[in-house]
Structure 1
Amino acid sequence: MKTVQLGRTGEQISQLALGCMIMGTVTPEDEAFAILDRYAEAGGNFLDTADCYCWWERRGSYGGESEELVGRWLTRTGRREDVFLATKGSAVVRDLDVVWADGRPNWDVAYKTFAGAGAKTLREAIDGSLRRLGTDHVDLYYVHVDDRATPLEETLEALAGIVQAGKARYIGWSNVRTWRLERIRRLCAQHGWPAPVALQQQHSYLRRRAGLRHASIVDDEQLDYLETHDDLTLVAYSPILKGIYDDPDKRRGHGAMEPYQGPDADARLAAAAEVAAEVGMTPNALVLAWLLHQTSPTIVPLIGPRTLQQYEAALPALDAKLTDEQFARLDTAAG
């Protein structure tokens, strides 16, 4: 598996990151271990989790199952030094009772009850994550959901303390607007605090529909910002949008399609299906190959397979052979 540099840090991370979100809940331990083993055997080294994963899968849980599973795998394999380990804090739900209704979590309520990125919260969160992961440090620590209720100075000073204490080597940010990212970077430069080296956002081949306001999906302004700030690497979550590229029936009415629905998406879906058929691969894998091909900015797709079969279905993207003309057709679909 090829590697790319994380920002300007000199760290080499796998071109394809492995998301561990549903491991230990939806994906049982034996299958999760098999996915992690295969990924490591293929040369993969970039693992991604969070302290809140996966509270919404088990009523009464505040999360932590994914970190605990990854910790058990690291202990079993002794691979901690081979892995670039990322986790996140700030999105644990404070009050589960108000979030669950009729046996299902209410996400609108959940977003209003996140623990946030206050100094005390982050300091306690990183300690909890390290305990569950069974390690004394993570390589990358994200603010999971941008917290506008807490002064940025408080959050950034706390993160600087976490780095200084050796509990995290680098910091990142997720689910954040570009203007906030610029303010974060300016404050870091002003105070000498460590600045984010990774930006984790939702990004795929489809482009979000015109007029949509969404803090978590990359837009043209954010792409332009990343093109001119190569000290930040884009880690693209939900790169295949729950697998909707492969299945027209699945994407009809699917929530993953809602931010993209429209003529632009139709044209790009058709282009992906056409080129995928030409090269003999699935549209899902083709989209991953397209993302891996991007260099301005560099994109690290973050896959989150539920099964070993889904993990293996992504691998053809690593060796895809597309012509310049095929990439051009994908790039220019819908104008």
Structure 2
Amino acid sequence: MSRLALGTMTFGVETPEADAHAQLDAFVEAGGTLIDTADVYGDGASERILGRWLADRRHDHVLVATKGRFAPPPGSRGASRRSLVRSLDASLDRLGVDAVDVYFVHGWDEDTPVEETLDALSAEARKGKLHSIGWSNVTGWQLARIMTTARLGGYVVPTVVQPQYNLLDRSIEVEVLPCALEEGLAITPWSPLGGGWLTGKYARDERPTGATRLGEDPDRGVEAYDTRNTEATWRVLEVVSAVAKRHDRTMAQVAVAWLLSRPGVASVLLGARTPVQLSDVLASTSLSLTEADLAALGQASAPGLPAYPYGMLEAFSAMTVWDHLGTAGDTAG
């Protein structure tokens, strides 16, 4: 898969089909191979737009990923066997393909045993409808449960995990990232620009207006204006801006280049409304951040660890357990 992937959540919603096809053409011309969509994007519109592009262009080297879980057909639910089988078939029909390269479960389903989900996906893999599977939006313990169940149960083993990850939200580094590294999972982060915040287009004292995601809906999702308009955010943006100026690059390119430098990150999902926005972030792969750049960005964005158990475990890495506890044999505390 290419180091940058094209996310298509805007297709058919914020991005008309002609612009979507222009983005796809530009992405492939730049060497991109992984295109990511989902059944819920535009209520299927994104998959249909991508499907018409695939039928017209016939790019055999393109990898297509889609997702199921949040838009189950009537009579189905979540990540159940009934839901995923019907959702996958519907996605294949909209995409106009016989199989997808990666099929993501779009989130944990507390109502369905993970064994049922994995068994259903394994059966679909044996039928040739999907080539590999992944999970999106899970906690560390959920990811560990998925991987252990898959390996011990003889099911198809996930190869990819897709979390939110960017300079404004590094929370996956506590549990999800270590689990993914331990399991050898590829990480394909979404929201590398923090919903547009890391481009520098929002102001501290002025609520966004106009044709931007937050201009149209300031309360939108995890990047909501009032949620992200914090001193911590502005500290990060100040450093991103300074690094961008040193390299004569955009803040968006710096944010994506930082993410590409992180361990385990295989491909970063880019989401753009217009071909111009896409062109900017595609240039991220040619930006080499210095050790000083990475240190400054890391320090500014470091979320810190809860004192327990993570701070305690961090202390253990610098000394033996017995040194920390005191006298050998004293296991209290």
Q: Normalising by the residue count of structure 1, what TM-score does the alignment of the two structures yield?
A: 0.80
1:190 aligns with 2:144: no
Query: Do 1:207 and 1:260's aligned partners in 2 also have CA atoms closer than 8 Å?
Result: no
Q: Give the C-alpha shift of residue 162 in structure 1.
A: 0.9
Q: Give the C-alpha shift of residue 207 in structure 1.
A: 3.1
Structure 1 CA distance for aligned equivalents of residues 187 and 5 of structure 2: 11
Deviation track 1:28-50 (CA, whole Å, cap 9, x = no partner) reads 11111111001111110100001
Of Structure 1 and Structure 2, the greater strand share is in 1
Query: Do 1:50 and 1:67's aligned partners in 2 also have CA atoms closer than 8 Å?
Result: yes
Q: Give the equivalent residue in structure 2 for 1:239.
A: 192
Structure 2 CA distance for aligned equivalents of residues 175 and 122 of structure 1: 17
Cα gap change, 1:250 to 1:312, in 2 (>3 Å): farther
Letter in 2 for 1:72: R
Indicate which of 269, 273, 284 corresponds to 1:317.
Answer: 284
Structure 2 CA distance for aligned equivalents of residues 225 and 304 of structure 1: 26
Count residues with an aligned counterpart: 287
Letter in 1 for 2:288: K
Tell me how large the CA RMSD over aligned residues is.
2.2
Query: Do 2:102 and 2:131's aligned partners in 1 also have CA atoms closer than 8 Å?
Result: yes
Indicate which of 247, 250, 265 corresponds to 2:233.
Answer: 265
Structure 1 CA distance for aligned equivalents of residues 177 and 206 of structure 2: 28
Instruction: Give the number of the structure whose alpha-carbon radius of gyration is greater.
Output: 2
Q: Give the C-alpha shift of residue 334 in structure 1.
A: 5.7
Indicate which of 70, 79, 102 corresponds to 1:140.
Answer: 102
SS at match of 2:162: strand
SS at match of 1:39: helix
Structure 1 CA distance for aligned equivalents of residues 192 and 57 of structure 2: 28
1:83 aligns with 2:62: yes
Letter in 2 for 1:221: E
Structure 1 CA distance for aligned equivalents of residues 8 and 72 of structure 2: 19
Cα gap change, 1:207 to 1:125, in 2 (>3 Å): closer
Query: Do 1:244 and 1:250's aligned partners in 2 also have CA atoms closer than 8 Å?
Result: no
Cα gap change, 1:301 to 1:114, in 2 (>3 Å): farther
Query: Do 1:244 and 1:251's aligned partners in 2 also have CA atoms closer than 8 Å?
Result: no
Query: Do 2:73 and 2:83's aligned partners in 1 also have CA atoms closer than 8 Å?
Result: no
Stretches of structure 2 lacking an aligned partner (at least 5 in a row): 208-217, 303-333
Query: Do 1:174 and 1:199's aligned partners in 2 also have CA atoms closer than 8 Å?
Result: yes
SS at match of 1:237: coil
Q: Give the C-alpha shift of residue 244 in structure 1.
A: 1.3
Per mean C-alpha deviation after superposition, the further-off stretch among 252-261 and 113-122 is 252-261
Stretches of structure 1 lacking an aligned partner (at least 5 in a row): 1-12, 55-62, 96-112, 209-216
Query: Do 1:279 and 1:321's aligned partners in 2 also have CA atoms closer than 8 Å?
Result: no
Q: Give the equivalent residue in structure 1 for 2:316.
A: none
Structure 2 CA distance for aligned equivalents of residues 289 and 250 of structure 1: 24
Structure 1 CA distance for aligned equivalents of residues 161 and 204 of structure 2: 29
Query: Do 2:79 and 2:112's aligned partners in 1 also have CA atoms closer than 8 Å?
Result: yes
Structure 2 CA distance for aligned equivalents of residues 251 and 319 of structure 1: 34
Structure 1 CA distance for aligned equivalents of residues 86 and 288 of structure 2: 47
1:28 aligns with 2:8: no
Indicate which of 248, 265, 272 corresponds to 1:280.
Answer: 248
1:72 aligns with 2:37: no
1:303 aligns with 2:283: no
